Amino acid sequence: MRTVIFDLDGTLADTSGDLLAAANHCFREMGHGDVLVHGQDAGIAVRGGRMMLTHGLKRVGAYDEGTVDAFYPVLLEAYAQDIDTHTQFYPGALEAVEALKTAGYGVGICTNKPERLAHQLLSQMGVLDHFASLVGADTLPVRKPDPEPLREAARRAGGHPDLCVLIGDSDTDRNTAKAAGVPSVLVTFGPFGDDMAALEPEALLHHFDDLPDLVTELIGAAA
């Protein structure tokens, strides 16, 4: 089976608002107040919890690796407590997923979000059963850009890892697909949209309405 594997944050959904809120919870506990700005710092948010803590602490001149390590679990807990207040799927994302499944493709997720949080987010938003696989940052001993999580997501979705395409929003996704020897499609509507063309993916995605046709062009029809 041919499969379409999606990154989550910044690709399928804009999760930045809830991620930034969790980071600012930590900064308030440190006594710095709200350091990161919704919208403006969306690109930092989708790079993960440690990146948010690092950037925020550097912004206020208080960076210390030990502080990042100490507050990372605090951030994860704050995020788990309020994970879907601001998160929204990008226009057409879920419709594209259903169209791909109807066409016969297996559909899964490969994310660098911890698996339990990805599972929780998708469950609370009522879409977990839309996807045949979910591989997170800690599902395997390695994470993207190592190619194995992508390959495993394809396998768990019922597909062959050589017959998949990765839909993403970053150099991490581009490098993951390249390492796996499969094509990548990078979205232009995420936080790094203007930078995607320079990464030279096999295709750019400007709206999810175009995805089914792109997938067929890149990996062939599902049947």
Active site residues: 7
Report how far residue 174's alpha carbon sits from residue 155's, in angstroms, rounded to the nearest whole number.
Answer: 19
- Taking phi first (over 0 means left), then psi (-120 to 50 degrees means alpha), and beta for anything else, what does residue 158 get? left
Which alpha helices (H) appear in the chain, and where do they start and end? 16-30, 42-45, 49-59, 65-81, 93-102, 115-124, 148-156, 171-180, 211-219
Identify any residues that bridge with 9 across adjacent strands, giving them in sequence order: 13
Identify any residues that bridge with 109 across adjacent strands, giving them in sequence order: 6, 134
Contact between 186 and 172 (Cβ < 8 Å): no
Report how far residue 28's alpha carbon sits from residue 156's, in angstroms, rounded to the nearest whole number.
Answer: 40
What is the DSSP-derived secondary structure letter of residue 129?
G
- What tokens were used for 60? 């206020």
- What tokens were used for 121? 């987010």
Report how far residue 221's alpha carbon sits from residue 98's, in angstroms, rounded to the nearest whole number.
Answer: 15
